[in-house]
Amino acid sequence: MRAAGIPALTVMATVQVAVPAAIDDAGVLLRGQPAVGQVSGVLHCAGCRTLVEAVQPHERMIGDLHVEVRGHFRLAPGHAHAVACPFDFPRAAARIARAAPAIIRPLPAGYAVKVPDSPARTFGPPARAWRPGRAGSPSAFMAGEAVVTIGKVAALLERFGGQHVAPGAFTAAWGRQAIDWPEFCFDQVSYVELVERLHAGTWPWPFLVLFTAERAGQSKAGTSWWTGQITDQHTILDGRPVAIRVTVRSHTPGPIRALELGRPALGFGSWQLYRPPTQPQRRRPPIADAVLWINQPWQLLAVAP
Ligand SMILES: [Zn+2]
């Protein structure tokens, strides 16, 4: 049960997401969680200057579930964000949904986002001639539009502190299954789980990865281009500790060159796990590479929070 550390409660009928940044009396910008004793006086939303208040960390019971609520900022009673405020979560989510009615469906609380049609395979090298939305396929729809929409959702969640800060606001829909967003879009806190899934080599639905395009280059053989990130996460693979790298590879340079280095990006394609060689490695711990192959430009896109 993912209950601890939820800054705003999402089990209620409406999804409540904290205001991610506030400005105090002295004009100091406060982000994320207000520290005890840090905030005093009148607080305003950093996006539109409407009144907000700081909620100190506390615990509460929902039924018999013990929930830790992290400190956060929320709208003061009776106040609303200005129309163009970037920190108005419900309005920003509704805007994304309105732009893609074929992809997003409103739920009583939050939204369901259609999982893109799978590449020919989720695991293994990509099929050479895969095209999204093959005519005649019962699940055919614009996978490219779905990925763009997911990129907008990822950007929105990043702006509000990451996808684990707004749980429940978005759900991925795969057939009749409702998938928790973090089980569908892996980010910097879930690369260990990503590697475990790739190691198992099976997973019921296609999934995406959110990473930082730290570096980019061309393979030694000159046949592919790559970008990716050496993450700060480690795991045990085949009984050995390994560092985790996330790499996106493409047989054409265009999709990789289109990214701005150092910025977040979203990838969707076919996965392969490259284990480190068994002989001793100079680098310690050795690197396990979670490699995502893409063969269409829309499978890799920049995420602009
Ligand atoms: Zn605001």
222 lies in the same domain as 132:
no
Q: At which of 168, 200, 232 does a domain end?
A: 200
Pair of tokens at residue 284: 């310690």
| Cα–Cα distances in angstroms (integers) from residue 293 to residues 34, 127, 193, 262, 278, in the given order | 41, 10, 19, 20, 24
| Number of domains, the chain | 3
d(CA 263, CA 294): 19
pLDDT in tens, 156-214: 998 887 767 676 789 999 888 999 998 899 998 899 999 999 998 888 888 999 999 99
Residue 121 has pLDDT above 50, yes or no: yes
What is the structure's pLDDT at 163? Answer: 67
Task: Answer yes or no: do 175 and 108 share one domain.
Answer: yes
Q: What is the CATH number of the domain that holds 278?
A: 2.40.50
pLDDT of residue 225: 95
Q: How far is the CA of 53 from the centre of ligand 1 (A)?
A: 12
Q: State which of 49, 84, 119 marks the end of a domain.
A: 84
- How far does the centroid of ligand 1 lie from the alpha carbon of residue 280, in Å? 54
Domain end, chosen from 63, 84, 105, is at 84
Measure 277 CA to ligand 1 centroid, in angstroms. Answer: 51
d(CA 152, CA 179): 18
Claim to verify: residue 102 and residue 70 sit in the same structural domain = no
Mean pLDDT of 288-300: 91
Distance CA 95, CA 93 (A): 5
Closest by Cα among 194, 251, 258, 193 to 224: 251
Q: What is the pLDDT of residues 208-263, one digit of tens each?
A: 999 999 999 999 999 899 999 999 899 999 888 999 999 999 989 999 999 999 99
The tokens describing 144, both together, are: 């490219």
What whole-number distance in Å separates Cα of residue 207 and Cα of residue 198? 11
Shared domain check, 192 and 104:
yes
Measured between alpha carbons, how far is 267 from 208 in angstroms, rounded to an integer? Answer: 6
Give the pLDDT confidence of 78-103 residue by residue, as tens digits. Answer: 999 999 899 999 899 999 999 999 99
> What does the pLDDT read at residue 97?
94
Rg (CA), the chain: 21
| pTM listed for this prediction | 0.83
- Ligand 1 ion: Cβ-proximal residues, 5 Å cutoff: 45, 47-48, 81, 85, 87
> Are residues 94 and 77 part of one domain?
no
Kindly give the distance from the C-alpha atom of residue 211 to the centroid of ligand 1, in angstroms, as a whole number: 28
pLDDT digits (tens, 9 = 90+) for 28-77: 888 877 776 666 789 999 999 999 999 888 888 877 878 777 788 999 99
Q: Which domain holds residue 253?
A: 208-302
- Cβ neighbors of 112 (< 8 A, separation 6 or more) are 104, 105, 170, 171, 172, 173, 178
67/76 Cα distance (integer angstroms): 22
Nearest-CA neighbor of 101 among 57, 55, 141, 160? 141
Cα distances (Å, whole numbers) of residue 95 to 57, 98, 152: 31, 5, 10
Contact between 9 and 65 (Cβ < 8 Å) = no
* Calpha distance 220→241 (Å, rounded): 26
Q: How far away, in angstroms, is 2 Cα from ligand 1 center? A: 28
